[in-house]
Structure 1
Amino acid sequence: MYNFDSLYYPYASQRVVTYARKGIVATSQPLAAQVGLDMLKKGGNAIDAAIATAAALVVLEPQSNSFGGDTFALVWVDGRLHGLNSSGPAPRRISIEAVRSLGYENMPTSGLIPVTVPGTPAAWAALSEKFGRLPLTEVLQPAIEYAEQGFPISPFVAKAWKIKFDIFIEDHKAKEFEPWFHTFAPKGRAPRGGEMWRSPDHAKTMRSIAETKADSFYRGDLAEKIDAYFKQYGGFLTKEDLSEFQPEWVDPIKVTYKGYEIWELPPNGQGLVALMALNMLKDFQLTDIHAVDTYHNQIEAIKLAFADGLKYITDPYKMKVSVEDLLSDAYAQQRSRLITETALHPEPGQLQQGGTVYLAAADGEGNMVSLIQSHSGDFGSGIVIPGTGICMQHRGSGFSLDPSHHNHLEPGKRTYHTIIPGFITYQNQPVGPFGITGGMTQPQSHVQVVMNMIDFHLNPQAALDKPRWRWVKDKTIELEPQFPDHIAQALARKGHDVRKAVDSYEFGRGQMILKDLHTGVLAASTDPRVDGAVAAW
């Protein structure tokens, strides 16, 4: 039987869990969390709070997300979980042959070629239209004010901004990258921590999106500007691609893990990888959080799940295997039997054919939101549309130029997507939203954090604080600097190629909210690896 107290067993933690009753918002930037809470106090619901926070993050954490990125959300409202996939497809004019004719053997990771249709503005409008209570103009107003008036850059954002500036100043000398420097490095450098930064271009674009419910971005003035810039420099994206886009409401997918339902969005996202790994691990009796076998079994399950995910996941309408088959108990048992005492080289199984921000929000009425948005790597493609602040994603870099690959490039196709929101329920009652950013690290972190709470009874803050591992490739794993040395050595003896990271930058940054099903009390935590905050009421 579900016992809320069981998730709050005391454990060493760098921060404390925040409790509230009327509403709570957790995200990676303190000012953005406060923006969401302000919406709740104005009479908005958790959906309004999530949209306001997401919009504020575009301004307050611009290296991680933008108007030009994608957004996914899981929304608990009216007694059920709803899923939103607002990831855009490849342009209609692009093809493998067209990209290869430009001299590429693989999809580039910057510039105009890997840009897909952005879904973020459409996601805000869709969430507001379906579930919001306040007008979008009011919900986006705080983000507009921060863009117009400026704000002090937080420490983590300053660090990430400088890292990317140092790369861009060396690698992005072509003329089409100049607007990025005008927008994000007006002083000829990245802004420093505590330094004020403002962007009137962001404010103008945000106001236009608010007033037109994102229509200007897809069929109006902003669409015309995007179209003109891509034509000027030979890109593939057109205003016709933008005008055809609509976000998609989807049915979330789940596995039952030791009594709890763990939910993710279906492909094209990689949440399926986390669910496959948990499905393999659910029959393992893992009781010692410090045992080397605990880590070894987790790592092996993730490797097997990724082997399948990287082969099969693509646009859901193009997948050649079914999600149901990949999540079946029979397939999970077949794959888990491959986990032995030594590290394996992962291979996909055989089936019958058939730079990111995260936020969690909840209100006192029972509504909850798990939302994640990104433009794929810090500052995405490096392409900024002049005068708009729109930094375009490079999500198309995930496509393969091998026509035999399941995720090969096609016009109008959505690629394998890394950003994934998570959600937990118990006997069809909402426990709460969770998520961790970090590219391919995300499903790995989902598995670790879920197991930290369910198997080892850590409170949500301790579950986020605990040192993480991440599988890199083959038998190679990377460990956070604070990861225990004796366990690292034991993993090496099991055949893992163990490497210690110099910092925690690549290990994800997460937040979560959990609800006591007996009292309605909300508990939230944010990752110590980022400038995160919980705003509570």
Structure 2
Amino acid sequence: MDYLYQPYTSKRTSAISNKGMVATSQPLASQAGLDMLKKGGNAVDAAIATAAALTVVEPTSNGIGGDAFAIVWMKDKLYGLNSSGHSPSTISIGSLKEKGYEEIPKYGFIPVTVPGAPGAWAELSERFGSLPLTEVLAPAIDYAENGFPVTPVLGKFWEAGYNKFREVLEGEEFSHWFDTFAPKGRAPKIGEVWKSPGHAETLKKIAETKAEAFYHGEIADKIDNFSKEYNGYIRKKDLQNFQPQWVNPVSVNYRGYDVWEIPPNGQGMVALSALNIMEGFDVQSKEEVGTYHQQIEAMKLAFADGEKFIADEAHMKVGVDQLLNREYAAHRRSLIGEEALQPEAGDPPKGGTVYLAAADSDGNMVSFIQSNYMGFGSGLVVPGTGISLQNRGHNFSMDPGHVNSLEGNKRSYHTIIPGFLTKDNKAVGPFGVMGGFMQPQGHLQVIMNTIDFHLNPQAALDAPRWQWMENKTVWVEPDFPIHIAESLRRKGHNVEVQVETGAFGRGQIIWKDEETGSLFGGTESRTDGSISAY
């Protein structure tokens, strides 16, 4: 893997270690994971500790009330975990239309689905962990109980979230969010210590009961009572019926490497479909307009298919094998010409988020992602618990004929996706780029930066990114090459320079060098990214 050693002009180089590594968007969280490794825990213990800590130290992106997915490489075998929650059993398109809704709102109880993150922690710990869950969640509990100083990028997004909620949230049910996240009548300032005792108590109960209290006990009762008080749909029986699902990750082979994603209901299939299309192009150079044009067009076609066909897998009418069919990819590839396309779905053959990566000295690795969606989620915090409920149900369709239509007990089309890379049945490592519908686009760019353009992990993340938005509109970062942007415009792309770098996702990478056994890590320069290693 010569790309690990390639020099690069970015301000930061890849971190290197040989005992263990945790890469994530917040220094205190990555340190929590490293503490587990130093105590004799494995990569799974480190990932859980980091994930739980992130619910405290980066609440702008995730929380106890969100969902989670994981890809685990354990003892030379790959495992997938889908811990996304389903919709409440009593919700339906008809019930919403009776209340006057023509679309699913972003905030309040209607888009709330069952939180899956606590179940993911417990499930991973039970199957693969080597330390007690009480010990693994201890750092997160400490941060919640005693507080932590707000970091720069976190503070920026916290203030933006507060200002947005102050404008759009109306109703007594939202008061608990402001009590929890703006206790002084404003967002906490950078460097100011923020704490959440209710969050700490909830984490303690999850740790002591292995999440039973959350889904079957007193925490479930509190969620149920809060929902009933404000005519929400979610009930204790919905929490009781939840169970994380072990799944087989799906992959495509891209130029000799196997790229792995979680199967639907997640949008990892979009990344794989786009890579399948790109596989057939002879990509010569990164900084050529043709390369960017092909990447953007491939992503547009993959997203069009994803929007039409991806849903809860039990409801899909087109299977994974059909969407990843090589002949179908060749057909989609043939649609890409010299001009920007208006994307449309094809006809396959019938048949706010945080990301972290962890690795230990035994070769075990974890790719883990969790989210509340849209930053702080639904705007609802269960009183006295610190639980910020997700609004993942906003992704459902109100069209009864759509595969992702709103129904009770159904998982929605999901944006958060962990990635993993292998070669010749050996682990290369975990990777991910968080950020809504940027995520599969980030996966495509990071993988091509690595495999096609031979960039080391830090360079692969630091390289300027683009994001296709809709129709022919593409956002690019301020440091995106100007001559490439102008050339793309001449091909019919509506290229817009976006100053807000938060729009382009936040990624983490850990690659293992098979020859030396050393770990090479990259972390996101667009946020308070941090790698803890020893």
TM-score by length of 2: 0.99
Q: Is the counterpart of residue 160 in structure 1 residue 153 in structure 2?
A: no
Matched to 2:307, the amino acid is: L
Aligned to 1:432: 429
Rounded Cα–Cα distance in structure 1 between residues aligned with 2:101 and 2:328 = 38
- CA displacement, residues 453-477 of structure 1 (integer Å, 9 cap, x when unaligned): 1001111111100010000001111
Of 296-305 and 482-491, more deviation after overlay is shown by: 482-491
1:240 alignment partner in structure 2: 237
Asked if 1:180 corresponds to 2:177, the answer is yes
The aligned amino acid for 2:505 is: G
Q: Tell me the equivalent position of 2:391.
A: 394
d(CA) in 1 for partners of 2:21 and 2:528?
Answer: 17
* Mapping of residues 267-416 of structure 1, within 5 Å: 267-416=264-413
Task: Report the Cα offset of residue 13 of structure 1.
Answer: 1.3
Cα distance in structure 2, aligned partners of 1:202 and 1:503: 30
Counterpart check, 1:110 vs 2:107: yes
Q: Partner of 2:250 in structure 1?
A: 253
Say if 1:433 and 1:513, in contact at 8 Å, map to a contact too: yes
Return the offset for 1:323.
0.4
Picking from 140, 143, 147, the partner of 1:146 is 143
Unaligned runs of at least 5 residues, structure 1: none
The answer to which of 296-305 and 497-506 deviates more is: 497-506
Q: 1:48 pairs with 45, 50, 58, which one? A: 45
> What is the one-letter code of the residue matched to 1:229?
F
Report the CA distance between 1:7 and its aligned residue: 3.8
Find the aligned partners of 1:281 and 1:65 in 2 and give their Cα distance.
Answer: 32
User: Displacement, 1:352?
Assistant: 4.2
The question of whether the paired residues in 2 share the 8 Å contact of 1:359 and 1:370 is answered with yes
**Runs ≥4 residues deviating over 6 A:** none
Aligned to 2:262: 265
Q: CA separation in 2, counterparts of 1:16 and 1:102?
A: 55
RMSD (Å) for aligned C-alpha atoms: 0.7
1:484 aligns with 2:506: no
Q: Aligned pair 1:135/2:132, yes or no?
A: yes
Deviation readout 1:266-301 (Å, 9 max, x if unpaired): 000000000000000012111211100010000000
The structure 2 residue matched to 1:460, chosen from 457, 461, 475, is 457
How far does residue 503 in structure 1 lie from its aligned partner after superposition?
2.0
1:518-529 correspondence to structure 2 within 5 Å: 518-529=515-526
1:353 to partner: Cα distance = 4.2
1:39 aligns with 2:3: no
> How many residue pairs align between the two structures?
534
Contact 1:7 1:454 in 2 (8 A): no
Q: Who is 1:101 aligned against?
A: 98
Corresponding position: 1:222 with 2:219? yes
From 516, 523, 534, the equivalent of 2:531 is: 534
Aligned to 2:54: 57
Shift, 1:422, TM fit: 0.3
Contact 2:67 2:115 in 1 (8 A): yes
Name the amino acid aligned to 1:504: T
Match of 1:511?
A: 508
Q: Which amino acid aligns with 1:5?
A: D
Return the offset for 1:414: 0.4
For 1:354 and 1:426, how far apart are their aligned partners in 2?
28
CA distance in 1: counterparts of 2:440 and 2:5, whole angstroms: 23
User: Of the candidates 88, 102, 107, which is equivalent to residue 91 of structure 1?
Assistant: 88
**Distance in 2 between residues matched to 1:397 and 1:8, nearest whole Å:** 43
Aligned to 1:494: 491
Q: Identify the match of residue 20 of structure 1 among 17, 20, 24.
A: 17
Q: Deviations over 1:177-236 (max 9, x none)?
A: 000000000000000111100110110000000000000000000000000000000000
Distance in 2, matches of 1:121 and 1:63, equals 18
Q: Which amino acid aligns with 1:211?
A: E
Please give the secondary structure, in 2, of the residue aligned with 1:40: helix
Distance 1:406 1:124 in 2: 29
Q: Corresponding residue for 1:119?
A: 116
Q: Give the distance between the partners of 1:14 and 1:529, measured in 2 at CA.
A: 12
Cα distance, 1:351 vs structure 2: 2.5
SS at match of 1:340: coil
SS of 1:317's partner is helix
TM-score by length of 1: 0.99
Contact 2:328–2:349 at 8 Å: present in 1 too?
no
Name the structure 2 match of 1:67. 64
Q: Which one-letter code corresponds to 1:493 in the other structure?
A: R
Gaps of 5+ in 2: none
Contact 2:265 2:311 in 1 (8 A): yes
- Cα offset for 1:145? 0.6
Question: Residues 14 and 528 of structure 1 are in contact (CA less than 8 Å); yes or no, is this contact kept in structure 2?
Answer: no
Deviation track 1:17-57 (CA, whole Å, cap 9, x = no partner) reads 10000100000000100110010000100000000000000
Aligned partners of 1:8 and 1:460 also within 8 Å: no
Q: Is the 8 A contact 1:8 1:457 kept in 2?
A: no
Residue by residue, what CA displacement relative to the aligned partner does 1:323-372 show, whole Å, maximum 9, x if unpaired? 00110111110100001011000000013444100000000001000000
**In structure 2, how many angstroms separate the alpha carbons of the residues matched to 1:265 and 1:65?**
19
Q: Which amino acid aligns with 1:169?
A: R
- Which residue of structure 1 lines up, in the alignment, with residue 2 of structure 2? 5
* Partner of residue 211 from structure 1, selected from 188, 202, 208: 208
Shift of 1:14: 2.5
Looking at structure 1, the residues matched to 152 and 130 of structure 2 have their Cα atoms a distance apart, in angstroms, of: 34
- Find the aligned partners of 2:354 and 2:323 in 1 and give their Cα distance: 28
Do structure 1's residue 169 and structure 2's residue 188 form an aligned pair?
no
Give the distance between the partners of 2:196 and 2:262, measured in 1 at CA.
33
Counterpart residue number, 2:418 = 421
8 Å CA contact 1:379–1:391 kept in 2: the answer is: yes
Contact in 2 for aligned 1:14/1:465 (Cα 8 Å): no
